[in-house]
Structure 1
Amino acid sequence: MDLAILWFALVVLCWVLFAVLEGFDFGVGMLAGIVGRDEHERGAAVRTVGPVWDGNEVWLVAAIGVTFAAFPDWYAALLSGLYLPLVLVLLALAARGVALEFRGKVDTAQWRRRCDVALGVSSLVCAAGFGAVIGVATTGLALGPGGAVASGGGAGGALARSLSPLASWPAAAGALLGVLAALLQGAAFLGLRTTGPVRVRARRVALATAGVTAVVVAVLAGVAAPVAAPVALLAVVAGVAAALRREATAFAAASVALLAGVVAAFVAHVPVVLPSTLDPAYSLTIAGAAASPTALQVITIGGVIILPGVIAYQAFSYWVFRRRVASGREVSA
């Protein structure tokens, strides 16, 4: 197999793992203050992701690192064209980590409530930001010769280059879908990992979010889009399964729906990895954006050694923390 194609598949895999694993983290962060009506219930919701959220973020590091090493031109164009939005998302990720880690450091209800608000807002920004970035990257940037992103000229050219894509329709659609996907996944995960009132409310949220998600996917993607119907159907399956107390099925369906959407975004224009909105001739392709054959050979050796270990460790951590978290004063079904 061509190493460039192999590494493109691995890049997609890393971004998909990040999207799916962090998707329910973002969803739980947004929902903790909604499905949790008091301090005990909100704490139970947060504890469902407490042992795993930082491990899930490893896949962001892996995705960025693999993209940089295997496709430096692709990486450079994305960072050049979306630098400020990505910085905002990274700051939101940092705020989310602080809210999670410091929530229990001060033993007052007011402090924990502030951390819960920070967690909800930062999770919302992360989900919407990554959705917007994927939406923009799918439709393309203003790439010129050599993969350089056109600034548009003027005193604010560089600023406009980085911010103008966020004012586009693909960015708005991506942001909305990102938030809905995270909410659906997060609600299904809370239903799967909790007992008591949080579990009951999470099932209701999953059912409501599933219906909205299915409609939005059908409207935004278009009924003719090959991936729209399966993703909408999976969202409906997730909602129905949650209502029937089949939380494992609900979470699996929500996760597969998100997986399908992200994969579809990455492979929409293959072999083009980043379309140019100025001229299709300037678009970046798998072969054109890839590193040298020697570099690909070297990182392949490292990938064979490192990636299986990361996957095995993360699978083990999920197995260790597989038990439900009780959200009621007394454990209930």
Structure 2
Amino acid sequence: MELTTVWFGLIAVLWAGYFLLEGFDFGVGILLPVLGRDDRERRLVINTIGPVWDGNEVWLLVAGGATFAAFPEWYATLFSGFYLPLLIILVALILRGVAFEYRGKRDDATWKRRWDLCIIGGSLVPALLWGVAFGNIVRGVRLDADHEYVGGFFDLLNPYALLGGLTTLTLFTLHGAVFLALKTDGDMRRRAGELAARLAVPVIAVAGAFLLWTAIAHHDVAGWILSAAAALALVGGALATRVRREGWAFLATGATIVLAVFALFVTLFPNVMPSTIADANSLTTTNAASTAYTLKVMTWVAVAFTPIVLAYQGWTYWVFRKRLTVEHIPAAPVPVSPAPAGAAERATP
């Protein structure tokens, strides 16, 4: 097997890992105002992903870095043609990260409400736009003979890509609801499980329509099989939510995300960015790849460091595996005004 094919597969794995892990982060953020009825409950919702959200984003950095190193032509065309939507995603992720850090800095309702809006928007916008972006990659975009994107921003907002965005948005929201039911206990667990059960039906309809459209448009046998497996996993997750088996439900929604990503990449191969102008203008794993020596060095680096990263992240999830309840969240501390300068000296006998 050629190294270009190997790295195409590895990039698919990285994106699948990112959507699997960051997907429930996005879902939790989107559901913050739905399941967080007061400040203490909203802090509980945020704390379920507090120890892991930034580690989950590492998958995005590695996926982007691997694409840049293994397929620089793909990276250049993608980030120049999709500049505006990717910039919006980046700003949303930055605002969300800042909101996690700054929300608790002041015990003020208005302050917290504004940062909560950043968490919600910083979760909802990427959840939508990632689906739009990948929908366009699989569908194909207007690339000229120099592999430059010659379309406009509104060309990216076609029906197929928008359905892809709605698919990731709804699927990640369901994934987040299932995660909250798995990670909490008591009333929050019950309400998150009930919400996941209600969300399952529309998610099946939207995701099923997108996967069916993809399979019909590309006539790829492997894509059909993976899409069918993803649909079955999603149905299994819906059934698991109804009988309150949160662990199985989370495995099922996670499997749905991974299988759907693999279905898109299998459908895309050997292209990495098809051209809707002419097939000869398409970027492939061959004409977009780095040199054989670069790919060989990257392979050895990946073999050496990937197990370390996976072990560390697995250990993090194991340490923070216990369920949380509102009782674990202390009441918000009352800010104490600093004592006047010299007060300590005057109080000393």
CA shift at 1:328, angstroms?
5.7
Q: Which amino acid aligns with 1:285?
A: T
Structure 2 unaligned residues grouped into runs of 5+:
217-223, 330-349
The answer to whether the 8 A contact 2:4-2:285 is kept is yes
**Matches of 1:64 and 1:220 in 2, distance apart?**
25
Corresponding residue for residue 319 of structure 1: 318
> Whose Rg is larger?
2
Identity score, percent:
43
Supply the AA of the counterpart residue of 2:320.
Answer: F
Backbone CA RMSD of aligned residues: 1.7
Whole-Å Cα distance in 2 between the matches of residues 85 and 329 of structure 1? 39
Q: How many residues align?
A: 320
The aligned residue for residue 86 of structure 2 is 86
Moved over 6 A (4+): none
Report what 1:267 is aligned to.
266
SS at structure 2 position matched to 1:67 = helix
> For residue 14 of structure 1, what is the aligned residue in structure 2?
14
Q: Which amino acid aligns with 1:166?
A: L
* Partners of 1:214 and 1:233 within 8 A in 2: no
Residue 213 (structure 2) pairs with residue 217 (structure 1): no
Could you list the per-position Cα deviations for residues 111-150 of structure 1 after superposition, in whole angstroms to 9, with x for gaps in the alignment? 2222222211111001001111111111111111132222
The amino acid across from 2:287 in the alignment is G
The SS at the match of 1:273 is: strand
Partner of 2:107: 107
Aligned residue for 1:195?
A: 185
Alignment partner, residue 289 of structure 1: 288
Rounded to whole Å, the distance in 2 between the matches of 1:165 and 1:30 is 27
On the 8 A contact 2:167/2:210 being kept in 1, the answer is no
Give the 3 Å change call, closer, same or farther, for CA 7–220 of structure 1 in structure 2.
closer
- How far apart in 2 are the matches of 1:110 and 1:270? 49
2:245 corresponds in structure 1 to 246
SS state at 2:5 partner: helix
For residues 45-100 of structure 1, the C-alpha deviation after alignment (integer angstroms, 9 at most, x for no partner) is: 11000000000000110000000000011111111210110000000000110111
Q: Answer whether contact 2:142 2:149 (CA < 8 A) is retained.
A: yes
Equivalent in the alignment of 1:24: 24
Do the aligned partners of 1:192 and 1:248 also contact (CA within 8 Å) in 2? yes
**Equivalent residue for 1:171, pick from 150, 161, 171:** 161
Moved more, 276-285 or 22-31: 276-285
1: CA distance, partners of 2:195 / 2:234: 13
Asked if structure 2 preserves the Cα contact closer than 8 Å seen for 1:135 and 1:174, the reply is yes
**Which deviates the most, 224-233 or 24-33?**
224-233
Gaps of 5+ in 1: 152-159
1:152-171 equivalences under 5 Å are 160=152, 163-171=153-161
What residue in structure 2 maps to residue 157 of structure 1? none
Does structure 2 conserve the Cα–Cα contact (< 8 Å) formed by 1:25 and 1:186?
yes
Q: Distance in 1 between matches of 2:150 and 2:80?
A: 10
Distance 2:274 2:287 in 1: 12
Aligned AA for 1:278? I
Q: What does 1:85-164 correspond to in 2, within 5 Å?
A: 85-150=85-150, 160=152, 163-164=153-154
